């Protein structure tokens, strides 16, 4: 499979501070490994805040959750975070079964997750 075909299940929407990766289809362990590699590359370019939009994902291989959790920890140590948006109850159950239900913040929509980054930076009055 070529690089273009491999990355078809991931589209990115970016702003100056938060990038949203819109995922789709069935994400197998190798797909999640490639996504984790892509997250590392983006972090090396200075990205610190990511939203992973799972609203179009029908299945997720639980074996790919642990590496994703590890990437989130790396982002947090660098002062950023990875937030999850739009997971179905089925996908949320996979995260729970993989032991990562408390490792991520889950939001119903990607805009809610993106807004959470803005709220985290907002000064308190």
- DSSP letter, residue 9: G
What does the DSSP 8-state code read for residue 16?
S
CB 85 within 8 A of CB 112: yes
- What backbone phi and psi angles, to 5 degrees, belong to 8? -65, -25
- DSSP-assigned letter for residue 124: P
**Per-domain residue ranges of the chain:** 3-118
* Residue pLDDT tens, the chain, 125 long: 333 334 445 454 444 589 999 999 999 999 999 999 999 999 999 999 999 999 999 999 999 999 999 999 999 999 999 999 999 999 999 999 999 988 999 999 999 999 998 886 545 54
CA count, 13 A, side-chain hemisphere, 101: 10
| Superfamily name and number for 3-118 | STAS domain (3.30.750.24)
Yes or no: say if 75 and 109 are a contact pair by the CB < 8 Å rule.
no
How many Cβ atoms sit within 10 Å of the Cβ of residue 12? 13
Query: Cα separation of 125 and 108, whole Å?
Result: 28
């Amino acid at each position: 499979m070529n690089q273009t075909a491999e990355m078809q299940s991931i589209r990115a929407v970016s702003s100056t501070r938060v990038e949203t990766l819109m995922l789709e289809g069935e994400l197998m362990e190798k797909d999640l490994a490639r996504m984790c590699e892509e997250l590392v590359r983006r972090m090396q370019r200075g990205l610190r805040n990511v939203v992973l939009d799972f609203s179009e994902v029908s299945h997720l291989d639980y074996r790919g959750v642990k590496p994703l959790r590890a990437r989130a920890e790396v982002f947090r140590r660098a002062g950023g975070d990875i937030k999850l948006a739009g997971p179905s109850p089925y996908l949320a159950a996979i995260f729970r079964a993989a032991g990562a239900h408390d490792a991520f913040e889950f939001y119903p929509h990607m805009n809610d997750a993106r807004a959470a980054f803005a709220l985290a930076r907002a000064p308190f009055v």
